[in-house]
Amino acid sequence: MAVAPESAGSRLDALNQWVLEVARLTRPERIQWCDGSDSEFEALVERMEADGTLLPLNPDTHPRSWLHRSHPEDVARVEHLTFVCTSERDDAGPNNHWMAPADGHARMDGLFDGCMRGRTMYVIPYCMGPIDSPLSRCGVEITDSPYVVANMRIMTRMGAAALARIEREGSFVRGLHSVGELDPDRRFIMHFPEELTIKSFGSGYGGNALLGKKCHALRIASHQARTEGWLAEHMLILGLENPEGETHYIAAAFPSACGKTNLAMLIPPEGYRQDGWKVWTVGDDICWMRPGSDGRLYAINPEAGFFGVAPGTSMASNPNALASIQRDTIFTNVGLTADNQPWWEGLGVGEPAFDWRGNAYDCNAGPAAHPNSRFTVSARQCPSYSAEAENPAGVPISAIVFGGRRASLVPLVFEARDWAHGVLVGAAMGSETTAAATGAVGVMRRDPMAMKPFCGYNFADYFAHWLSFDSEGARLPKIFHVNWFRKGDDGKFLWPGFGDNLRVLEWMIKRVEGRAGAVDTPIGALPRVEDVNLDGVPLTAEARDKLFGFDRQAWLAELDGIGSYLDEYGPRMPAALRSEQQRIAVALARTTA
């Protein structure tokens, strides 16, 4: 079927015309419009089981679950092959690889030419966010990968309802994807923000192929958000309910594989659970925020599922995540046990018989699961899932948290003085790289708001957009920075993390409510040891010193580095951020005098 089913209205004319143009370019054997139905999904799975794309797992332990093995050279984001194509180079900024739109289209169309011969071209209408939410935005992905279709069905509101909304609104993000030959030398991901268009070729990996995720929900949406007056952020959303039954919502930005999913699904320590504390999961990765009529920021999770990192997920680290993926889950690049159960490092039970490439497991040949192996599962299967995830109005955000992997320097938590300081805290955020992207692991780099790989325009303009929310009548969230990964002189982590991170969240909410103490320092407000509930948490003297204090000389050097980083963006960098950096540097210098 070449055109949208039952399309009589002119609002689908543009969509139908685009689909026909893509078909003429890619020359598929057939075209299938996806309706998101159970029968469609079952037929796709049957087809993929037959050709080995999906391997069914043990039906007794993991019913309706599958393993997918991607090409060994197609296992993570490829930031060096990801481009933002704006009319003016400076609009993309030094934070993005740039290509002129005409050149980008020419390069990609050359790759797409005839690439779907003998294949099915799937047309996937989808909605990012609740179908009826004014905060949601729609898109259509065209792909030749049934694996992508199956994942998009889990990760988005995909199918007939999304197509109906597109017909009502007449606007959508266009995404064209083909796995091509999975040749790393013929692999590019191009974004055209001014056209609301994405083109991805040569990869079948998650964020490179599930175009609703990072490509749409962050790179394109960040551009939409700036134009329309909202924020598209790489953030989890959780609800923290206290014993009195009051719930505060927190949005938190961490680079990939730095514990976002663990925090989003946090289980309170035993004492807190007995007292009645609860954590509700609204989202684990992406957050869209818009000012409400009352001046507060309201957020939705544009995704409907989790595309989580498997290694390290266990009953000890994240019981809710583990419970979520016991059925109806697609695993990618994990190992296998002898009885066909998924396995990864850190799982804590069982042992692998096969590695992620499908070879007999050899401990000397590398890990059983790829470090960036994943699971795709509906958010509704999470025991801590919040029904507020479907609230069309979104949830009001009380606190915004930034954090990354810093083995030294950064204390456990501090609070920004005001909104401008908080924006600088986010803009200057640094973290050690992880396996979620290709390249070296463990290298410290600046990752503003955890958006370095995902911001669809110049970071200087992005920071200015953040600053613009501090307007008359705004009731903005407090901003905090955390560091769960501070290490001692012996190289071991000083903070227990996981469920005990709730102790830090409790302090934040009490600060929001004006009920917790802190010490004002040049870098922000730091809790004293007695301000955080540490009952049952034994901390050494070194841990107390490094987690709750700061090294003035080291921070002076950090502020110099932040200043140099801001200078990289030239005259477009907002003067307010330069002033904040200088204010803190002067305060630090005076403190050490």
pLDDT in tens, 324-372: 999 999 999 999 999 999 999 999 999 999 999 999 999 999 999 999 9
Tell me the average pLDDT across 559-568.
96
Tell me the pLDDT band of 262, cut-offs 50, 70 and 90.
very high
Residues 491 and 424 in one domain: yes
Give the pLDDT confidence score for residue 66 in this predicted structure.
98
Last residue of a domain, one of 174, 194, 229: 229
- pLDDT for residue 591: 85
Structural domain contains residue 42: yes
Cα 448 from Cα 459, distance rounded (Å): 8
Q: What's the confidence (pLDDT) of residue 76?
A: 87
Q: Does one domain contain both 239 and 220?
A: no
Query: Given this model, what pLDDT does residue 433 score?
Result: 72
Are residues 247 and 169 part of one domain?
A: no
CATH of the domain at 156: 3.40.449.10
User: Is 254 found in the same domain as 361?
Assistant: no
Q: 405 with 494, same domain?
A: yes
Instruction: Determine the pLDDT at residue 11.
Output: 78
Q: Which residues contact 297 (CB under 8 A, 6 or more apart)?
A: 231, 289, 290, 291, 396, 397, 469, 476, 477
Model confidence at 256, pLDDT cuts 50, 70, 90, reads confident
Give domain status of residue 559, yes or no: no
| pLDDT confidence of residue 44 | 98
DSSP category for residue 439? S
CATH number at residue 289: 3.90.228.20
Q: Does residue 434 register a pLDDT over 70?
A: no
- For residues 223 and 137, what is the distance between their CA atoms, to the nearest angstrom? 13
Q: Distance (Å, rounded) from C-alpha 273 to C-alpha 285? A: 25
Beta bridge partners of 401: 252, 480
Distance from C-alpha of 200 to C-alpha of 180, rounded to nearest angstrom: 10
Both 81 and 170 in a single domain? yes
Instruction: Mark whether 427 and 532 lie in a shared domain.
Output: yes
Give the burial string for 236-261 (b: 16+ CB within 10 Å, else e): bbbbbbbeeeebbbbbbbbbbbbbbb
User: Considering the chain, what percentage of its residues have pLDDT values greater than 90?
Assistant: 93
* 7 pLDDT more than 60: no
Give domain status of residue 451, yes or no.
yes
Residue 190's Cβ-count burial label (10 Å; 0-12, 13-18, 19+) is buried
Residues 158 and 297 in one domain: no
Q: Is residue 112 part of a domain?
A: yes
Same-domain status, 41 and 183: yes
8 Å CB contact between 510 and 277? no
* DSSP state at residue 570: G
Residue 560 in any domain: the answer is no
Model confidence pLDDT, tens digit, residues 67-96: 999 999 999 889 999 999 999 999 999 999
**Mean pLDDT in residue range 57-73:** 97
Helix-strand-coil split of the chain, %, nearest 5: 35, 20, 45
- Report if residue 566 sits inside a domain: no
Identify the domain containing residue 156 by its residue range.
10-229
Helices 419-427 and 575-592 cross at an angle (nearest 10°) of: 90
Beta strands 374-378 and 305-309 are antiparallel
pTM: 0.95
Among 229, 246, 270, the domain-final residue is 229
Q: How many CB atoms lie within 10 A of CB 155?
A: 27
At 593 the pLDDT is 46
Strand, helix or coil for residue 502: helix
Task: Supply the pLDDT for residue 10.
Answer: 63
Which residues, 6+ apart, have CB-to-CB distance to 367 below 8 Å? Answer: 311, 335, 345, 355, 356
Radius of gyration of the chain (CA): 24
Whether the per-residue pLDDT at 438 is higher than 70: the answer is no
Q: What stretch of H or E contains 331?
A: strand 330-332
Q: Are residues 405 and 495 in the same domain?
A: yes
Lowest mean pLDDT among 124-128, 196-200, 312-316, 517-521: 312-316
Bridge-based pairing state of the strands 330-332 and 66-68: parallel
- Rounded to an integer, the average pLDDT of 477-488 is 97
Domain co-membership, 67 together with 172? yes
How many domains is the chain built from?
A: 3
Residue 468 lies in a domain: yes
Active-site positions?
258
116 within a domain of the structure (yes/no): yes
Q: Are residues 155 and 298 in the same domain?
A: no
> What's the whole-number mean pLDDT along residues 159-181?
97
The confidence band for 8, taking pLDDT boundaries of 50, 70 and 90, is very low
Q: How far apart are CA 260 and CA 266, in angstroms?
A: 10
Write down the pLDDT at residue 564: 96
Task: Kindly report, residue by residue over 383-419, the tens digit of the pLDDT.
Answer: 999 999 999 999 999 999 999 999 999 999 999 999 9
CB burial readout 486-508, b (16+ within 10 A) else e: bebeeeeebbbebbbbbbbbbbb
| Mean per-residue pLDDT, 511-515 | 97
Place of tokens 């080291």: 554
Residue 120 in tokens:
């099915």
Rounded to a whole number of angstroms, the distance between the first and last alpha carbons of the chain is 75
In which band, very low, low, confident or very high, does the pLDDT at 259 lie, cut at 50, 70 and 90? confident
